[in-house]
Amino acid sequence: MEELQTQLDQLSSMNMEIFYWWCTALMVVIHAGFLSYEMGASRAKNALAAGVKNILALAFIIPVFFFVGWWIYSAFPGGFTIADGASAALPWSSSMGPNIEDRATGIFWAAFTLFGATTASILSGSLIERVRMSAFVIMAVFLGAVVWILAAAWGWHPDGWMLTELGFHDVAAAGCVHTVAGFFALGVLINLGARIGKFGKNGEINDIPPHNLPMTLVGLMLIIVGFFGFLGGCIIYGDWTTIYGNPTNLSAFGFNTLMGFAGGVIGAYAVSREPFWMMSGGLAGIISAAAGLDLYYPPLAFVIAFLGGCMIPVAGKFIEKMGLDDAVGAVAVHGFAGVWSMVAAGIFLHGYPNMGDLPPITLWGQIIGAVVMAATGFIPGYLLSLLLRSVGILRVPPEVEEAGLDAVEIPTKAYPETNPATPSRATESH
Q: Which domain CATH number covers 26?
A: 1.10.3430.10
> Which contiguous run of DSSP H or E holds residue 165?
helix 161-166
Number of domains in the chain: 1
Higher local confidence (pLDDT), 264 or 20: 264
Task: State how far the Cα of 161 lies from the Cα of 231, in Å rounded to an integer.
Answer: 23
Q: What is the pLDDT of residue 413?
A: 84
Q: Is the pLDDT of residue 142 over 90?
A: yes
Q: Rounded mean pLDDT of 306-322?
A: 96
Given a contact cutoff of 8 angstroms between Cβ atoms, the answer to whether 233 and 24 are in contact is yes
Confidence of residue 424 (pLDDT cuts 50, 70, 90): very low
Is residue 381 assigned to a domain? Answer: yes
Is residue 129 assigned to a domain? Answer: yes
Q: Is the pLDDT of residue 423 over 80?
A: no
Given a contact cutoff of 8 angstroms between Cβ atoms, the answer to whether 144 and 119 are in contact is yes
Confidence of residue 6 (pLDDT cuts 50, 70, 90): low
Is residue 95 assigned to a domain? Answer: no
Question: Which DSSP letter does residue 176 get?
Answer: I
Q: Please tell me the pTM assigned to this model.
A: 0.94
Given a contact cutoff of 8 angstroms between Cβ atoms, the answer to whether 222 and 29 are in contact is yes
Q: Is the pLDDT of residue 14 over 80?
A: no
Q: Rounded mean pLDDT of 225-244?
A: 90
Q: Is the pLDDT of residue 428 over 50?
A: no
Is residue 344 assigned to a domain? Answer: yes
Domain that holds residue 48: 2-77+104-416
Lowest mean pLDDT of 143-157, 192-206, 292-306, name the range. 192-206
Comparing C-alpha atoms, which of 297, 168, 294, 173 is closest to residue 242?
294
Is residue 379 assigned to a domain? Answer: yes
Q: Is the pLDDT of residue 26 over 80?
A: yes
Q: What is the pLDDT of residue 15?
A: 80
Comparing C-alpha atoms, which of 392, 340, 391, 401 is closest to residue 367?
340
Percent of the chain with pLDDT over 70: 94
Is residue 266 assigned to a domain? Answer: yes
* Size of the chain, expressed as the number of residues it contains: 430
Comparing C-alpha atoms, which of 318, 312, 308, 316 is closest to residue 288?
308
Q: Rounded mean pLDDT of 402-415?
A: 89
Q: What SS3 string covers 247-310? A: ECCHHHHHHHHHHHHHHHHHHHHHHHCCHHHHHHHHHHHHHHHHCCCCCCCHHHHHHHHHHHHH
Is residue 56 assigned to a domain? Answer: yes
Comparing C-alpha atoms, which of 302, 291, 274 is closest to residue 337?
291
Tell me the pLDDT of the chain averaged across its residues. Answer: 92
pLDDT in tens, 344-402: 999 999 999 999 999 999 999 999 999 999 999 999 999 999 999 999 999 999 999 99
Q: Angle at which helices 250-272 and 298-321 pack, to 10 degrees?
A: 40
Is residue 72 assigned to a domain? Answer: yes
Task: State how far the Cα of 230 lies from the Cα of 238, in Å rounded to an integer.
Answer: 17
CA angle 189, 195, 196 (to 5 degrees): 145
